[in-house]
Chains A and B, each alone.
Chain A
Amino acid sequence: MGAVNNMNLMQFIATGVAMGFIYALISTEYTLIYNATGLVNFAHESFIVLGAYLFGGTFARSLGLPPWLAVICTVIAMGAFGVLVSTIVLNPLRNLQFITYAMFGTMMLSRIIIESSRLVWGPLPFTVQGFLRDSIKIGSTFLFKAHLYIIAASIIIVVALQIFFRTTKMGKAMICVSQNKDAAALMGINVTRSINLTVALSAMLCGVIGIFCTPLFNISTGMAASAALKGFCAGVVGGFGSYPGAIVGGILIGLLEQFGTMLFPTAYKDVVAFGVMVIFLLVRPSGIVKVKKA
């Protein structure tokens, strides 16, 4: 119970929920690409890393932009990057005979991005000074500012995504493509373009996740490795392919992980998410929110 004594319960929950939202966003982003292309994107960890480096290394440090402008620039740059990757790698890969080749392709892509980042921004980890690093006092509790921003921004993003998919023509087209590519093509939807857009959207999301991670971890090539895996776990726990499931799973894992530190040594914190996922695979493989198949 040592962890709780040092840390107020409110703070404890806020940390869990904030991490949970990060996992939820990662899982949402997986779901986006998985639904659009049928591929599991192993490169997305590197997308997150790239987002963090672009934000911290280029826009905030080298160019000295104010944080809000750096955020916008990162999101735009990541969107452009998404279109590029989708055009030259993901679209050719999705037509291959076996899914294993495509997975392999995304893994290699991931390495290229990570290696390039290391070459461009150097091998040493760094931080963005003063970006969301302070705390706010509410009553007797100190809350980490970054956590509050993450929670608020994630809720806005999730709601915005839902509105985008439900109301706009482009969003509806993406949903159509994710459900049935052939039928969508027959209805006159440009499938390739729609996939490009989906990947761009997911790369933008990765950029945002990368920005969120900068105050929590140092910017380094390995910064997103465990978060990426936990986002995956969150997807399975929530129900793979379901957007509400991604959020429920993410927050559940974030909280369980926090409370897990009360029971187990902190070194095993990273095992919690995985353990929860294996239990779900055994007991309820469809996840909390079952995806309806047409």
Chain B
Amino acid sequence: MNKKNALYLAGWILWLVALVLAFRTANSYVQSVFCMLLYNIILVLGLNFITGLTGQMNLGTIGMLALGAYTYGILTVTAGWSPWTALFAMVAVGYAIGKVLGYPSLRLKGFYLSLTTIGFGEIVRLLAMNLESLTGGTMGFSKIKRLEFFAYKPENRSDYFYIMLIFTVLAIIVANRIVYSKWGRAYKAIRDNAEAAEASGIDISKLKIQAFTLAAIYAAFGGALYAGYNRYLNPSGFTLEYSQNYIAMLMIGGIGTVPGCILGAIIVTALPELLRSFANYYWILFCTVCIVMAILLPEGLWPLIHRLFARLGKSLRGLRGKVS
């Protein structure tokens, strides 16, 4: 490991320690916001593959999350599986969503994915409401089992934070490795110019379906963690609005980059809590800001911050050069 990597790692550990410390000192309400933030980060990182990098609008994030959450619940409670086995079944859930929904909608050019994913989300919600024997219908599904980590048995919701944190860090590492690899480049190439990508020998439909499958796997994992965290599921919490919120996180933070996704998740998760005083006008305000940003700052906040830091670093180095 060279010096630069070591510094990088140290930076990350510092962030994590700060996060854990902040969490420990917060009250239980703020703690619940922290937990929400963790699975939101996982979901938006997944969405980034298909919408951020590949440029295909996915509005079914909440449906994928719901399917993952209910499957996890049914497997652990009704079928009596161990939480860990159920968690790894999420790969299969995500894979199935990716293939079944991705194949018809991504083979074609255009906006079909946004359509079919909206429909998918609605159907998952409908099924959750109407298959009462399986999902508990509108009464909800409760007493879902939590993951246990060797001797660590999370008693309440906030204990579960640490287990979710481990998976979030894992999700960030994997996302980082994909985004900054030949895969990330190929996804971006499809977004920037599909025709040229195809002429370079890239199988566009295959890669689009792959990116979509990754998004589905991430969302299903997020759903399983959400189910374990809440221990209770209700179909009323899985509406299209939430899928749009994940898009908002992606757009505000800066599409395509991992830090941008995290930043976006933080802003969109924390903002409603900070702007409670605006009450009824909060949504209008938030959406207006989003539109203005989409028009004026389509790259999102992260590239802006990144450039700012780069300029700061440059001038600092310049200063040091003058001094010595």
Contacts and interface: CB of A to CB of B under 8 A. Distances in A.
Interface string B24-54: 0000000000000000000000000001000
A115 interface: yes
A285 B294 contact: no
B91 to A, nearest CB: 24
Q: Which 9 interchain pairs have the tightest Cβ spacing?
A: A274-B119, A281-B104, A108-B287, A108-B290, A105-B294, A267-B130, A115-B283, A111-B287, A112-B287
Contact of A270 (B112, B126, B241, B290): B126
Interface stretch (B75-83, B146-154, B161-169, B244-252): B244-252
Given A101-B294, A109-B291, A281-B108, A115 B116 contact: no
Interface in A270-289: 270-271, 274, 277-278, 281-282, 285
Nearest to B191: A98
Given A97-B298, A108-B291, A267-B130, A103 B57 contact: yes
A149 interface: no
Interface in B83-129: 103-105, 107-108, 110-112, 114-116, 118-119, 122-123, 126, 129
Chain B binding surface, main DSSP class: helix
A271 B295 contact: no
A143 interface: no
A65 interface: no
Nearest to B100: A278
Most central of B55, B294, B295 by chain A CB within 10 Å = B294
B21 interface: no
Contact size range, B: 35 or more
Contact of B247 (A97, A107, A233, A278): A107
A164 interface: no
Contacts of A40: 111, 114
Nearest to A109: B291
A243 interface: no
A236 interface: yes
Interface of B: 51, 55-57, 103-105, 107-108, 110-112, 114-116, 118-119, 122-123, 126, 129-130, 191, 240-241, 244, 247-248, 251, 255, 280-281, 283-284, 287-288, 290-291, 294-295, 298
10 contacts: A40-B114, A100-B51, A100-B255, A104-B248, A104-B290, A107-B244, A265-B130, A268-B130, A270-B126, A282-B104
B55 A99 contact: yes
A71 B236 CA distance: 35
Contacts of A136: none
Contact of A98 (B112, B129, B244, B298): B298
Interface stretch (A88-96, A178-186, A189-197, A248-256): A88-96
A115 B278 CA distance: 13
